[in-house]
Amino acid sequence: MDNAKLVIFDLDGTLVDAYQAIAVSFNYSMRRLKYPCQTDEVIRRAVGSGDENLLRPFVRKADLKRALLIYRQHHSLSLVRYSRLFPRVKKLLRYLKLKGSKLAVASNRPTRFSRILVRHLGLKKYFDYVLCADRLKNRKPHPEILKRIMCRFSVKPREVIYVGDMTVDAQAGRRAKVITVMVTTGSSTRKELKNEKPSYIIPAVWGLRGISLDTKL
């Protein structure tokens, strides 16, 4: 870990547990539009490709725009009320900063909500850059977001570790040719992650302290 110039993190499911906040806002939107509510597990499995793609499978096309408006209005409040950090996240981020690594966030979550999370959970001081897919042409699993961040810091792929929790994260990391570390605290199962052949699979982000850039991709 000491030789990583840049460590890039996904947000939801990796550093932050916002699943309850998402589920509450999701089912609030369903009730408002007279659609069936869904279980936490169904919603959790649908997370990861942005809020529009979260809602799309559950509402008629004609209702999607209104559903998204309702969801976003409610979610600004539920994020603050229900989101929390996974254990020892701040301790890990302090450790990485002391080791001299630049830290960034690469999230498919819209910028507005990512900023709410980063600010509310006291993460802003740790991150040198936050980039979200709504500012780009392509979202993960496309590697554009990782390549943009690497370009900003003028680092080579071999100097970078990317940490995520979903198959789309593993795919994006592989396509960007960086060390890709998957945690099992998110939406994808360990089996699903293993099938994507990331560099490492660890139980939670704290395990990142034992990761080395010497891994052979």
Q: What is the DSSP letter of 12?
A: B
> Which domains are present in the chain?
6-17+85-210 (3.40.50.1000), 19-82 (1.10.150.240)
User: What pLDDT is attached to residue 171?
Assistant: 98
Signed CA dihedral, 36, 40, 41, 47: sign only: positive
In the prediction, which pLDDT does 1 show? Answer: 58
pLDDT digits (tens, 9 = 90+) for 152-193: 999 999 999 999 999 999 999 999 999 999 999 999 999 999
3-state secondary structure 18-71: CHHHHHHHHHHHHHHCCCCCCCHHHHHHHCCCCHHHHHHHHCCHHHHHHHHHHH
pLDDT of residue 114: 95
> If DSSP states are collapsed to H, E and C, what string results for 139-164?
CCCCCHHHHHHHHHHCCCHHHEEEEE
Measured distance CA(134)–CA(210) in Å, rounded: 33
Q: Whole-prediction pTM value?
A: 0.91
Task: Report the alpha-carbon distance of residue 163 to residue 203 in Å, rounded.
Answer: 12
The C-alpha atoms of residue 160 and residue 146 are separated, in whole angstroms, by 10
Give every residue of the chain whose pLDDT is below 70, as ranges. Answer: 1-2, 212-217
pLDDT for 49 equals 83
